[in-house]
Amino acid sequence: MKETFRPKIDWWIYLVLAIMVGGCFFGPLSEGAFAAAVILSLSMLGLWLFAVLGVMYEIRGGQLGIRKFYRWTWIPIDKISEVERMHGVYVQGAVSATLSLSRVRLRLSDRSILRSAMPVDISPKDSDGFIRRLKEINPGIVEK
Is the pLDDT at 115 greater than 90? The verdict is no
| pLDDT tens-digit series, residues 55-109 | 999 999 899 999 988 889 999 999 999 999 988 776 665 567 788 889 999 999 8
Q: pLDDT band at 139, cuts 50/70/90?
A: very high
DSSP letters, 38-103, are HHHHHHHHHHHHHHHHT-EEEEETTEEEEEETTEEEEEEGGGEEEEEEEESS--TT-EEE-BSSEE
Q: What's the pTM value of the predicted model, to 2 decimals?
A: 0.83
Give me the domains of the chain, ranges plus CATH numbers. 1-144 (2.30.29)
Residues of the chain above pLDDT 70, percent: 96
